[in-house]
Copies of this chain bind each other. A is one copy, B any other.
Amino acid sequence: MSKELTDIQSKILNFLIEQKVEKGISPSLAEIADRFGYKNRATVQQHLQSIEKKGYIKKNPKRSRSIELTLGDKYFFPRPILGEVAAGNPLTIYPDSIDTIQLPTIVKMPMDSFLLRVKGDSLKDAYIFSGDVVIVKPGNEFLDGQIVVAILDDSAVVKRYYRKSGSIELHSENQDYQPIIVDLNDSNFRIVGLVVGVYRTMGKKSLNNQLS
């Protein structure tokens, strides 16, 4: 049995994926039929059988909206990209960044945000300590006093943001560190996003409240 999908099967598979992206669940046979203008669910049914036979999906019999995509094996979520890999000539990758943490299930986290581990203690007065993981939401607009992640000449910092005319100041909470003042036009400077949360492993109390 060929594992190649026909055009139509391919389109249906794409629709399945699309729906999972947008709605989070598989469509029903009727919905697929609708989408492709079929007057009958049986047509879809047969296409799905073919697609399943070829191994692209798996259906839980009798269960509605339960088509599994077996394209790899599991849940796609918005996820950060760790680095670059080479398929041709090797490029540099960041092996150390292959690190995952288990975060609690009920804390806020925008889907497109990513995590960074904090080193250093300049924000300890804002209750962010070395070793903490900050949740960063990508964006461009910030309010004075918000904690942001900025990149300056290939280094990244977590600081409080203050907008001045013609420049941006990045303050540490900790007095030992001088504010960083950057010209607005400095092309080596870029603010990546807003820190929307902090996570700390190992029994310590979470300090999200103080983040405001």
Contact = CB atoms under 8 A, between A and B. Distances in A.
Interface of A: 4-5, 10, 13-14, 17-18, 20-21, 23-26, 28, 64-66, 68-69, 71-123, 128, 130, 133-135, 137-138, 149, 151-152, 154-159, 172, 174, 177, 192-193, 195-197, 199, 204-206, 208-209, 211-212
Contacts of A78: 100-103, 105
Nearest to A5: B212
B116 A84 contact: yes
Question: How many copies of the chain does the oligomer comprise?
Answer: 2
A87 B171 CA distance: 10
B26 A116 contact: no
A74 B98 CA distance: 23
Contacts of A116: 81-85, 93
10 contacts: A5-B208, A5-B212, A21-B107, A73-B137, A75-B108, A85-B116, A86-B156, A87-B159, A98-B151, A100-B112
Nearest to A90: B155
B209 A87 contact: no
Contacts of A155: 86, 90-93
Given A24-B105, A72-B196, A104-B76, A85 B208 contact: no
A96 B80 CA distance: 11
A95 B24 contact: no
Contacts of A152: 90
Given A72-B196, A103-B77, A85 B156 contact: yes
Nearest to A190: B95
A117 to B, nearest CB: 5
B158 A86 contact: yes
Contacts of A137: 72-73
A90 B111 CA distance: 27
Pairs of residues from A and B, 10 with the lowest C-beta to C-beta distance, nearest first: A88-B120, A74-B108, A72-B196, A90-B155, A72-B197, A76-B103, A93-B156, A21-B104, A76-B107, A88-B122
